[in-house]
Amino acid sequence: MTDDQPPAEAQDEAAATFEANEPEPSIEALKAEIAQLKDQMLRVAADAENAKRRAEREANDARAYAINKFANDLLGVADNLARALQHAPRDAEDAAVKNLAIGLEMTEKALLTAFDRNGLKRVEPARGTRFDPHQHEAVMEQPADDVGPGAVLQVLQAGYELFGRLVRPAMVVVSSKASTGAAPSDPAQGANPYAHADGESDAGASVDQTA
């Protein structure tokens, strides 16, 4: 120990004196510090919860849309069953033919039930439904007196959506647009009722006009 270094007792006494003279934090300062720590804790908890929800959503999306291609392949089966049912002789006198028609109908019902159970829902708008470019594809335009312009007249091929995401649009016939000089039914869409809300024409919205 050097001569100029104070003894240990003096150092302890100096430290005790310094601590005694150090001002204690006020209650307001302690409350502010607690509030700051609480805010930080809540932010960390919120970030963790958001990360958890985002991970769950991404996992659910991955599981849901993994069957997208498989579902798309099955749509051809559903279409063929629908076409067969359109021509099925349900009132046939031959019991075998009648049972065949009933079997086709039951098969289609079972297929659609399986689709619905797995989140694949049919898009088949009723007559008079307003044309929706996000779900429908207009392939033909015809005049009609019982519905307004731009409404669905007939479904030529049903569409499908998987958990709200469109897999295939419904192919529809729409009623003729308003005559020249008439005000459009929807000013936001202007003269083209088959345009997207952003102004771009839908890829399948071009129509063939028939008398």
- What's the 3-state SS for 172-187? EEEECCCCCCCCCCCC
Most confident of 3-12, 104-113, 186-195: 104-113
pLDDT of res. 180: 39
Q: How far apart are CA 175 and CA 135, in angstroms?
A: 17
Q: Is the pLDDT of residue 152 over 90?
A: yes
Q: Is the pLDDT of residue 21 over 70?
A: no
Enter the pTM of the model: 0.54
Task: Answer for the pair 159, 170: CB distance below 8 angstroms, yes or no.
Answer: yes
Q: What is the end-to-end Cα distance of the chain in Å, rounded?
A: 114
Report the CATH number of the 122-211 domain. 2.30.22.10
Cα Rg for the chain, rounded, in angstroms?
35
Give the CA angle between residues 35, 41, 43 to the nearest 5°: 105
Q: Which residue is it, tokens 């067969």?
A: 84
Q: How far apart are CA 175 and CA 138, in angstroms?
A: 10
197: confidence class by pLDDT, cuts 50, 70, 90: very low
pLDDT of res. 25: 67
Q: Which residue is it, tokens 């629908």?
A: 82
Q: How far apart are CA 159 and CA 83, in angstroms?
A: 14
